[in-house]
């Protein structure tokens, strides 16, 4: 059985790369769009500001993410050579959020990777969709017939609510 193609943007790309390192054969092709390979931030991010009103997002996720960005596990980037999946690393160019030396570094560590830079900034898929889809097509991930959109993904089964990890549990794991 051939694994499914997986496209990850930014932090989702980091999760996808971690999965590809651990679950050999699960992923057919991997796309990492504007994904940081997690070198410690210099200078580190300070504590997230707590807004005076309820934010429209889960602040504990921001705190956990910042903790990972400030002090990432070096083993994660050390295992890029274990990714046995053809990988396309998409960089957003100078306007991207990721230092553009790091996508090239990451692509050089993944055995079957290639790097493409699309000068769109951080949201390559949103700001330059035709170029992004063209890069995916050249990598072997197709479009729907003439629509200019990626094919729809199969539905994933839902987990019962008592099996879905809470944001506070994720924060606790990130702080360990």
Kindly indicate the confidence band of residue 164, based on its pLDDT and cuts at 50, 70 and 90: very low
What rounded mean pLDDT belongs to the chain?
A: 79
- Lowest-pLDDT range of 51-60, 65-74, 119-128: 51-60
d(CA 34, CA 106): 11
Q: Is the pLDDT reported for residue 143 higher than 70? A: no
pTM of model > 0.85 = no
Residues 62-119 have pLDDT tens digits of 888 888 889 998 888 889 999 999 999 999 998 888 888 989 999 999 999 999 999 9
Q: Is the pLDDT reported for residue 4 higher than 90? A: no
Q: Is the pLDDT reported for residue 156 higher than 70? A: no
Taking the CA atoms of residue 143, residue 148, residue 154 and residue 157 in that order, the dihedral angle to the nearest 10 degrees is 140
């Amino acid at each position: 059985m051939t694994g499914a193609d997986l496209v990850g943007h930014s932090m989702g790309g980091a999760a996808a790369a971690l999965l590809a390192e651990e679950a050999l054969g699960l992923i057919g092709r991997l796309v990492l769009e504007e994904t940081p390979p997690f070198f410690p931030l210099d200078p580190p991010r300070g504590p997230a500001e707590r807004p005076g009103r309820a934010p429209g997002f889960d602040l504990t996720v921001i705190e956990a993410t910042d903790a990972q960005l400030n002090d990432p596990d070096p083993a994660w980037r050390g295992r890029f050579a274990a990714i046995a999946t053809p990988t396309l690393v998409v960089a957003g160019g100078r306007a991207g959020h990721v230092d553009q030396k790091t996508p090239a570094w990451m692509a050089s560590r993944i055995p079957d990777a290639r790097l493409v830079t699309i000068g769109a900034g951080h949201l390559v898929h949103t700001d330059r969709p035709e170029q992004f889809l063209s890069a995916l097509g050249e990598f072997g991930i197709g479009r729907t017939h003439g629509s200019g959109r990626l094919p729809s993904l199969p539905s994933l089964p839902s987990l019962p609510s008592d099996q879905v990890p809470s944001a506070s549990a994720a924060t606790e794991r990130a702080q360990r």
